[in-house]
Amino acid sequence: MLIRMKNDATSEQIQAVRSQLEVRTLRFHQTVFFGRQVLVVHEVFDTPKLHDASLFWASLLEYEAVEEVLVIPLPVQQRTLSSLKAKKERTTIEVGPLTLGNGHFAIIGGPCTVESEEELIQTAQAVKKAGAAALRGGAFKPRTSPYAFQGLREEGLKRLAAAREATGLPIVTEAMSPEEVPLVAKYADVVQIGTRNMQNYRLLEAAGKSQKPVLLKRGFSATLDEFLMAAEYILIEGNDNVILCERGIRTFETDTRFTLSLGTIPLLKRRTHLPIIVDPSHAAGDYKLVPALAAAATASGADGLLIEVHPNPQKAICDGRQSLTLDEFEKTAEACRKIREIINSVSLISGHDTGLEEQERVIPIPHRLESYLRISQ
Amino acid sequence: MLIRMKNDATSEQIQAVRSQLEVRTLRFHQTVFFGRQVLVVHEVFDTPKLHDASLFWASLLEYEAVEEVLVIPLPVQQRTLSSLKAKKERTTIEVGPLTLGNGHFAIIGGPCTVESEEELIQTAQAVKKAGAAALRGGAFKPRTSPYAFQGLREEGLKRLAAAREATGLPIVTEAMSPEEVPLVAKYADVVQIGTRNMQNYRLLEAAGKSQKPVLLKRGFSATLDEFLMAAEYILIEGNDNVILCERGIRTFETDTRFTLSLGTIPLLKRRTHLPIIVDPSHAAGDYKLVPALAAAATASGADGLLIEVHPNPQKAICDGRQSLTLDEFEKTAEACRKIREIINSVSLISGHDTGLEEQERVIPIPHRLESYLRISQ
Amino acid sequence: MLIRMKNDATSEQIQAVRSQLEVRTLRFHQTVFFGRQVLVVHEVFDTPKLHDASLFWASLLEYEAVEEVLVIPLPVQQRTLSSLKAKKERTTIEVGPLTLGNGHFAIIGGPCTVESEEELIQTAQAVKKAGAAALRGGAFKPRTSPYAFQGLREEGLKRLAAAREATGLPIVTEAMSPEEVPLVAKYADVVQIGTRNMQNYRLLEAAGKSQKPVLLKRGFSATLDEFLMAAEYILIEGNDNVILCERGIRTFETDTRFTLSLGTIPLLKRRTHLPIIVDPSHAAGDYKLVPALAAAATASGADGLLIEVHPNPQKAICDGRQSLTLDEFEKTAEACRKIREIINSVSLISGHDTGLEEQERVIPIPHRLESYLRISQ
Amino acid sequence: MLIRMKNDATSEQIQAVRSQLEVRTLRFHQTVFFGRQVLVVHEVFDTPKLHDASLFWASLLEYEAVEEVLVIPLPVQQRTLSSLKAKKERTTIEVGPLTLGNGHFAIIGGPCTVESEEELIQTAQAVKKAGAAALRGGAFKPRTSPYAFQGLREEGLKRLAAAREATGLPIVTEAMSPEEVPLVAKYADVVQIGTRNMQNYRLLEAAGKSQKPVLLKRGFSATLDEFLMAAEYILIEGNDNVILCERGIRTFETDTRFTLSLGTIPLLKRRTHLPIIVDPSHAAGDYKLVPALAAAATASGADGLLIEVHPNPQKAICDGRQSLTLDEFEKTAEACRKIREIINSVSLISGHDTGLEEQERVIPIPHRLESYLRISQ
């Protein structure tokens, strides 16, 4: 439910409407939407009160400053906070040396999981030298098996902070439950929401409330609508700094760990102002495929890459199989930066400046010949 | 990490080993596994300490009461708490009139979401009359869009409790985050973990700790290994009462909402002692397909069904499209009970008594002719 | 392109229109469609002549006996030869003891591939005794590898004919290319089109022209629209005897060979008059799952089953892993016949009598509450 | 079944073995395999004769010139004609100006279907100017619906030949059945096998026999093993000129027509010497995504691209929605050539020179820590 105020609504007028919601103990949030103040109401009344509810919403229309009262059903591409219509320009994420989105390209590198502090600092220095703008590393690890290594938890966060201290690189690390978010946000610069938790709505809300930038990974089999709606759970909390991350989807193909779906990049560019990066490491599941997929992701127009790097993959606690060595990472990063330069010069690939007003070719479906020949039906 | 004690280990001997773990502040849990006392250690040391860790684990072997110290990697089908080898007989879930598993078949019916108390009690009475053994209904609703109805929360739980009061039917309802579990467990008889949260590990742990029976739905694209390992997160907390629920997987097929995968039923019967039920309503996404899929699920050997029913589907707040009317539910339930009787009499379908010792046909792969003819290679 | 004649069109009037098509060397076919004579034109003109073509089609409308000239684009569910509107009652396939469709249920059993004549006759006698109405067996085998056994070809067909001689069971066997169809049709009672060839259009046309009943298997990843349109390639040749066969689709799930999609059965029952059977053997890829899937398929309302049986699966040349023994087949067939009796008595599952006129519940999408509350938009 | 001759086998010695096969009327083919003469026997005896067969094969070993007699079961990656071990260097396809594979990159462009000759020649001239090395265009069109435009057949082939005449570009066009292959091969320079026919084995055999280069498209849901084995059906006929083409797979994702799986490129580079190109047009199903996917495919290391181009997509008979304009094609081709230059300089992406001898990192699975800690099991 959205209550959209008029252009010239004063804060007193808005407060009057807020009071009506507060009196009824409705959860809501005030934000700017399509350039106007909007009250986003999280609750919807239950049916027995449906008639009353209807009257209540109708009554709000009598406030002079209220322009419209509306419900947003799916598909919501035209009206959501993530849509291209909700914002004049594409979102840029800026955290220290990390600038990503709206034309800016950045690589985030680091180990799957935090191991020793010494090794982590070495890795951080090396990925920085190779051009990475941020350091990734897991402290809380979501693992398929409860018997597998679960991460170093707060100790891991402290080591990440030490690596930031040593290099200046901002830290990207994952939170797995609402209660963990404050702890993770205390140490991290970007809070990651993992694939398995893309629809863990309480966690999304907590990440939204943290006001830290959030890196949201696509679910194993999430549609783009579901992906954007998960981002909406974060945006609705007033947190605009969401980075979407394509990381491969689950398909019948088992030669790769997941199938990296790069059509996602140009598609999302046409539907949202949020930056989209790609994680080729988890998609591939095998270091040998990572350079090619990193290059492909860059060429598809992605705003950045999230790559697993380990100084000694054979000894990594987890995901060594998909980790690049420091040398491989450096070569891959360099090739990707060069590809990015080419892409930047071809507007029909990058879509960075033309997404919003572009005229589309009108191509009738079904096929033209058939339509033309249809004489009577 | 598992430390398995010998058959004749005394509690003092076990305590001596526990002390070693406690001194190192390791998270662990004591349970019965393969008929022996076992200490399940949730933590694994980090690599810098790897050599020390190895020595530590080795040192435990010197305790006379310790039989073995082992790590359980995937695939773990032979050794996990959910496996057929971990328990002498199949698990039966018993809560009031609901008896499910190990040969017992039960139907759980009710609305997608709790609406008015009056209507809920009516529905509960009708599904009871039609033979349902438990009532389902959502109070906390995980919804793709933050703008969609999110459920009545505690008020919904209270109405469910009132319906139990009126009918004696136990209540099945969902919890969405670790913090919600105590509240849900206060009212519910069975705590449901939804599809989107199958790998929300903190939630699984909390549900395990609640000691209430847990109904765990399969994730949209979870493999059976991942499904069983999610159950393991509950079992490891000492909570044996887990009901697995197949509810359709995501495939290229869009004519149904999801693809109901009934091969899952005989497959899981051969791999776990836990009961497996089927939710045909969410798989179908369309009431017209639900009776056929409910019948098929029963015929495949499922231990029960979870079906959405609404006295007036056209007016349901959510999922009316896939809800049966009370009359349709009654006819479907009756047909399923008759099919169940037939299945019970055919051991090669139901697998209830033969799963454990059965001799399998040994069929060499690759094909016999080719193998036979291979003269030199 | 269809030219539909009026109810009272005489054969002279129809010939006059045919002449117009013949003069332009257009490929076409005359058939009965929606109870009227129809000329189905297979060709569509190319674009340079588009204007002329349009004039030509328009000119046909001036023939008094022509009622309408129309193009059939996708989705075509309302108008195709396979649709429920094209025929008054559901199709029954009758070949000797095999009666299938429109309420009739039948089981087809036999080995994956024809081996020795003696063994084949033994198997045929045993499946007949167990209640099978037809014998399946491959003479031409489509194999993933060119190095795998390719079938006994005509020798296999001869052995199948000998088994028919001995038992009276009609023969179902596969043709793999247009040129093979006449040879296969010479021996077989039902020509099978395999999964890999579902969209081998020249083969479909040849099978249609053979005028033998055709058993058409669904492609590995065919949508239901594509499946029905493949059937249309056969029907358009004036061959009404098409049996659709669901045999599992390719999904991310690898624990079974394919994922048997039983929602297909009630869905197709609502869209076509053609009978639909299920092949649980290829879907499962493992004999242990076949009885449960056969039972489930029957319960879902399928018109029949296609099951692989082998007197000695360990020695089968191919697919022994998924073949039932004769004893297992007998028990499975018996259970399925009993389930079928139950299903027959529940019209909301079988759909056999109600598919055509049934009133559907109108359930608005999106959800009712939201629609109701939408005050302005 | 393969009979591999010794290095120094004379043609008389080989003929002696051939005679043994001919006497038994076995289908076979002589070719060079691993640098030796090999007799590839297509037939395998049926079981009743199994014992005799075994003796027969064993008897062949007594010929001095026979080195080994072997069966090739799946997985066959080490031994098939397409494998990296079967050939010293990667295959190059050379037809007029088209040079593709083994380091050579080429773009093939043209309309979905041949329309007017005039327009086709214009398009051919424009794609040549933009740097295309070959012209594609459909004369025989496999269409989901029998009512859709089926192509201009031989007339289309003649127009393609006229376009070749006018521009010098070699022609790529599809054949749909074994009988059509000679006609198509008469006009075309490269015979295309479409997605729906990837496992139409008789067609593959006919294409192999034509001795024309064959462009083989991956099936909608074919695994890489199945894809390579389909190529093997062509190679086994002694036709080495096979171009593999990735064109998107069918997944749950419906925002694009298919999901372009670019992990395929580096994976296949490690398994076969055959060139691999990508068709971004059919994968995307929407022209707006084609430039980004073409760039991504190039960056992933593909040996070429197959792109649909139409001078006026709004008026195309089919697939106008996914066709680039001539101007878009030119810009896309230019960006791809630049990306290719970068890729060529990074051996860890292109893999062109290192695939064969490269040392792989040995990374034990399951994870190292767990393995290390496993003290007893």
User: What pLDDT, in 10s, does the model give residues A71-128?
Assistant: 544 333 346 789 887 787 999 999 999 999 999 999 999 998 888 899 999 999 999 9
Q: Which two tokens stand for residue D150?
A: 């089926």
pLDDT bucket at D54, cuts 50 / 70 / 90 = low
pLDDT tens digits for range B86-108:
787 999 999 999 999 999 999 99
With CB atoms and an 8 Å threshold, state whether D331 touches A348.
yes
Q: Which helix (H) or strand (E) segment is B233 a member of? A: helix B224-235
The answer to whether residue C45 scores a pLDDT higher than 90 is no
Q: How many CB pairs under 8 A join A and C?
A: 80
Closest by CA to B274, choosing from B244, B245, B304, is: B244
Predicted pLDDT of residue B377: 27
- Cα–Cα distance for residue pair B299/B346, rounded to 1 Å: 11
- Cα–Cα distance for residue pair D169/D190, rounded to 1 Å: 11
- Cα–Cα distance for residue pair B280/D37, rounded to 1 Å: 59
**Which segments within D71-228 are labelled E, that is strand?**
93-95, 98-100, 106-110, 134-136, 171-174, 190-193, 214-217
pLDDT bucket at B233, cuts 50 / 70 / 90 = very high
The answer to whether residue C307 scores a pLDDT higher than 80 is yes
Q: Kindly report whether the global pTM for this prediction surpasses the value 0.95.
A: no
The answer to whether residue C70 scores a pLDDT higher than 70 is no
- The distance of A113 to chain C (nearest Cα, Å) reads 27
Predicted pLDDT of residue C41: 72
Q: Are strands D190-193 and D214-217 parallel, antiparallel or unpaired?
A: parallel
Residues of C in contact with B335 (CB under 8 A): 342-343, 345-346, 349
Of A141-155, B66-80, C131-145, give the lowest mean pLDDT range: B66-80
Closest by CA to D72, choosing from D51, D47, D49, D41, is: D41
Q: What is the mean pLDDT of residues B211-240?
A: 94
Q: Between D32 and A50, whose confidence is greater? A: D32
Q: Which two tokens stand for residue D312?
A: 């006026």
Q: What is the mean pLDDT of residues D341-350?
A: 85
Predicted pLDDT of residue B41: 72
Lateral strand order in the sheet of D66-70 = D28-33, D36-41, D2-5, D66-70
Choose the mutation target among B55, B68, B71 for the interface with D, i.e. most D CBs under 10 Å: B71
Predicted pLDDT of residue A46: 35
- The distance of D191 to chain A (nearest Cα, Å) reads 26
- For D:297-316, CB contacts with C below 8 A are 315
Predicted pLDDT of residue B359: 52
**Which segments within chain B are labelled E, that is strand?**
2-5, 28-33, 36-41, 66-70, 93-95, 98-100, 106-110, 134-136, 171-174, 190-193, 214-217, 242-246, 276-278, 304-308
Predicted pLDDT of residue B84: 85
Predicted pLDDT of residue D367: 31
Answer whether the bond into residue A280 is a cis peptide, omega within 30°.
no
Q: What is the mean pLDDT of residues C181-200?
A: 97
Torsion of CA C206, C212, C215, C221, to 10 degrees: 20
Predicted pLDDT of residue C217: 98
Predicted pLDDT of residue B355: 41
pLDDT tens digits for range D109-125:
999 888 889 999 999 99
With CB atoms and an 8 Å threshold, state whether C46 touches D233.
no
At residue C31, φ and ψ (nearest 5 deg) are -150, 175
- Cα–Cα distance for residue pair C201/A187, rounded to 1 Å: 62
Predicted pLDDT of residue C358: 47
Q: Three-class SS of residue C52? A: helix
Task: Give the largest CA-CA distance in chain D.
Answer: 77
Q: Scanning every residue of chain C, which has its alpha carbon at the shortest distance from the alpha carbon of D178?
A: C177
With CB atoms and an 8 Å threshold, state whether B328 touches C335.
no
Predicted pLDDT of residue C246: 98
- Cα–Cα distance for residue pair A137/A140, rounded to 1 Å: 9
pLDDT bucket at D171, cuts 50 / 70 / 90 = very high
Residues of B in contact with D369 (CB under 8 A): 44, 47, 50
pLDDT tens digits for range B318-355:
777 899 999 999 999 999 999 999 999 887 876 544 44
The three-state (H, E, C) secondary structure of B274-318, written as one string: CCEEECHHHHHCCHHHHHHHHHHHHHCCCCEEEEEECCCHHHCCC
Predicted pLDDT of residue B373: 30
**Which subunits count as partners of chain D given 3+ CB pairs below 8 Å?**
A, B, C
Q: Between C57 and C376, whose confidence is greater? A: C57
With CB atoms and an 8 Å threshold, state whether D339 touches A293.
no
Predicted pLDDT of residue B31: 73
At residue D83, φ and ψ (nearest 5 deg) are -75, 160
Q: Between B144 and C296, whose confidence is greater? A: C296
Measured CA distances, D114 to A74, A368, D118, D120, D310 (Å): 41, 15, 10, 7, 10
Opening angle at CA A85, ends A83 and A89, nearest 5:
90
Task: Give the largest CA-CA distance in chain C.
Answer: 78
- The distance of D139 to chain B (nearest Cα, Å) reads 30
Q: What is the mean pLDDT of residues A256-275?
A: 95
Predicted pLDDT of residue D21: 82
Supply the Cα-derived Rg of chain A in whole angstroms: 23
Q: Which amino acid is at D339?
A: I
With CB atoms and an 8 Å threshold, state whether B48 touches A229.
no
**Which subunits count as partners of chain C given 3+ CB pairs below 8 Å?**
A, B, D
Q: What is the mean pLDDT of residues C240-263?
A: 96
Q: Which helix (H) or strand (E) segment is C106 a member of? A: strand C106-110
In the 8-state DSSP scheme, what is residue D323?
P
- Cα–Cα distance for residue pair D292/D339, rounded to 1 Å: 12
Q: Is D55 on the interface with B (CB under 8 A)?
A: no
Q: Which two tokens stand for residue C22?
A: 């013949």
pLDDT tens digits for range A330-347:
999 999 999 999 999 887
Predicted pLDDT of residue A363: 43
Residue among C115, C221, C233 whose CB faces D146 most closely = C233
pLDDT tens digits for range B171-189:
999 999 999 999 999 999 9
With CB atoms and an 8 Å threshold, state whether A57 touches C375.
yes
- Cα–Cα distance for residue pair C366/C212, rounded to 1 Å: 47
Predicted pLDDT of residue D361: 65
Residues of D in contact with A334 (CB under 8 A): 346
The answer to whether residue B20 scores a pLDDT higher than 70 is yes
Closest by CA to B130, choosing from B375, B329, B296, B359, is: B329
Answer whether A172's CB lies under 8 Å from A215's CB.
yes
- Cα–Cα distance for residue pair C235/C211, rounded to 1 Å: 10
Predicted pLDDT of residue C275: 97
Mean pLDDT of chain A, nearest integer: 84
With CB atoms and an 8 Å threshold, state whether A202 touches B221.
no
- Cα–Cα distance for residue pair C128/C111, rounded to 1 Å: 13
Q: Are strands B93-95 and B276-278 parallel, antiparallel or unpaired?
A: unpaired
Q: What is the mean pLDDT of residues C300-323?
A: 88
pLDDT bucket at B245, cuts 50 / 70 / 90 = very high
In the 8-state DSSP scheme, what is residue B143?
-
The answer to whether residue B67 scores a pLDDT higher than 70 is yes
In the 8-state DSSP scheme, what is residue D253?
-
- Cα–Cα distance for residue pair C375/D136, rounded to 1 Å: 54
Q: Which two tokens stand for residue C50?
A: 């588009």
Q: How many CB pairs under 8 A join A and D?
A: 211
Q: What is the mean pLDDT of residues A311-324?
A: 82
Predicted pLDDT of residue A54: 55
Q: Between A144 and D102, whose confidence is greater? A: D102
